[in-house]
Structure 1
Amino acid sequence: MVELDIQVPSAFDPFAEAQESDAPGTKEYIHVRIQQRNGKKSLTTVQGLKKAYSYEKILKDLKKDFCCNGNVVQDKELGKIIQLQGDQRKKVSHFLVQTGIAKKDQIKIHGF
């Protein structure tokens, strides 16, 4: 049997550079969702804010601007989540862009 001098290339990750850079596909998104409660009642949840921000201060401003109630919930998998009463999806996304917390293309709005 003849042995060939062929070198098998090492593992190459073509996406390694993209993950390190600030490319469009690698940014963290802020998810704004609506959850149906009973009847007409609903909750708006905001997930994915950076941990450097004070969730309590953001919640306080949101509650004051939208005249609604809300709280911060700690989830094991998702981290901190802001919950607001009612359908506040458009208002929350506008607030996040206006205050400079996120850019418009970083916000994903989910719901019916």
Structure 2
Amino acid sequence: MADVTYYCPRCETLATVERDAYLADKSVTPYPLEGWSYDPPSALPHADADGVRFVCGESDGVDWSEDGCGEPFYLNFVRHDEGREIDSEPASEYVELNVRPSEPRGPQGPGGPTP
């Protein structure tokens, strides 16, 4: 077990927790990641959780540098599926534009579309 520190992404209050070093940190975010499961810091070690949900200045099992803002923030561990790291960002959505060359293009004016 080792002391590990994290900053609240909102107010930069320092949180210190004691935890196993085998858990790989991915990020600290002010919001939970889609599909990640979170345990409170008092539930360490987090063998089955995908991360830790802190309440700044209030969570048990944490040494706080100051009172904090009282807002939640999230420590996200690296997740793997079949040996590959799972991306925490949603895939980009592509939009197909329906452009018809036979239709006039341009801004609509009082007399109709401008060619």
Tell me which interval the TM-score lies in, with the shorter structure as reference length.
under 0.3
Larger radius of gyration: 2
Q: Which has the higher contact order (CA 8 A, sep 6+)?
A: 1
Q: TM-score, normalised by structure 1?
A: 0.26
Which has the larger share of helix? Answer: 1
Q: TM-score, normalised by structure 2?
A: 0.26
Which has the larger share of strand? Answer: 2
